[in-house]
Amino acid sequence: MHAWSHLYAIVDAGVAIRAGWAPRDLARAYLDGGARLLQLRATGVDRATLLDWCQEIVGLAAPVGARVIVNDFCDLVLMAGADGVHLGQNDLPVETARRLLGTEAIIGLSTHDDEQVEASARQPLSYVAIGPVYDTGTKDTGYAAVGLEAVRRTSVAAGTRPVVAIGGITVATAPDVIAAGAASIAVISDLLTGGDPARRVSEYLDALGGP
């Protein structure tokens, strides 16, 4: 896998639409700002619509060499030609996803505590996500904020695999999260702050020292 991106921009369809953005257009804005790692997340959307969004975003990402991850659905990864899948603790088992998608696909897993992080070390993952790092209103994970110390522990436990930190991260706190051992920070709502997502992505990349 080529170099891991410091910024993992998540296109959450619900957040996007509430802010007046079609998921495709928000993805384009993120790419225009320099994001090269995107995730499409859409809860409660019919599969045909979700496939259309996936295909559109993959089409936008390909010319600039960006990678697209789909939340939850391995079949949509295959149908849309996306780069991989992100799984939660209650989603398809990682081993099954790996069999379906093959050895080259990116597979990430959400973890929220040390026990889950330890279990992830035995699974065929491309990256491990830890969070919420800070309190966040975007998604109710059912877990309390884990803080920077959990990012440090996860980076040790993950070994050579990238750690993605998520949850309540802002431009101001992003460098601290990277310094704690995260390879990448995943951001949802804060990329819409100010109403100019391309510019906001650029601000993140400046704070993080590049893509």
- For residue 185, the one-letter residue type is I
Range of the domain at 24: 7-208
Q: Quick one: what percent of the chain has pLDDT higher than 90?
A: 91
Is 155 a member of any domain?
yes
pLDDT at 209: 86
Is 2 a member of any domain?
no
pLDDT at 144: 84
Please determine, for residue 54, whether its predicted confidence score (pLDDT) is greater than 80.
yes
Euclidean distance between CA atoms 147 and 95, whole angstroms? 29
Is 104 a member of any domain?
yes
Q: Between these two residues, 3 and 1, which has the higher pLDDT value?
A: 3
How do residues 130-172 score in pLDDT, each as one tens digit? 999 998 765 555 678 999 999 999 999 999 999 999 999 999 9
- For residue 177, the one-letter residue type is V
Please determine, for residue 184, whether its predicted confidence score (pLDDT) is greater than 70.
yes
Euclidean distance between CA atoms 50 and 41, whole angstroms? 9
Torsion 168-173-179-180 (CA) sign:
negative
Is 102 a member of any domain?
yes
Euclidean distance between CA atoms 88 and 129, whole angstroms? 10
Q: How confident is the model at residue 1 (pLDDT cuts 50, 70, 90)?
A: very low
CATH number, domain at 42? Answer: 3.20.20.70
Domain count within the chain = 1
pLDDT at 35: 97
Is 191 a member of any domain?
yes
Task: Pick left, alpha or beta for residue 94 (phi over 0 → left; psi -120 to 50 → alpha; otherwise beta).
Answer: alpha
Average pLDDT of 193-202?
A: 97
* Helix axes 197-208 and 23-33, enclosed angle (nearest 10): 40
Please determine, for residue 81, whether its predicted confidence score (pLDDT) is greater than 50.
yes
Average pLDDT of 75-91?
A: 97
Is 139 a member of any domain?
yes
DSSP-derived secondary structure for 44-104: T--HHHHHHHHHHHHHHHGGGT-EEEEES-HHHHHHHT-SEEEE-TTSS-HHHHHHHH-TT
How do residues 10-45 score in pLDDT, each as one tens digit? 999 999 999 999 999 999 999 999 999 999 999 999
Is 1 a member of any domain?
no
Q: How confident is the model at residue 211 (pLDDT cuts 50, 70, 90)?
A: confident
Euclidean distance between CA atoms 195 and 42, whole angstroms? 21
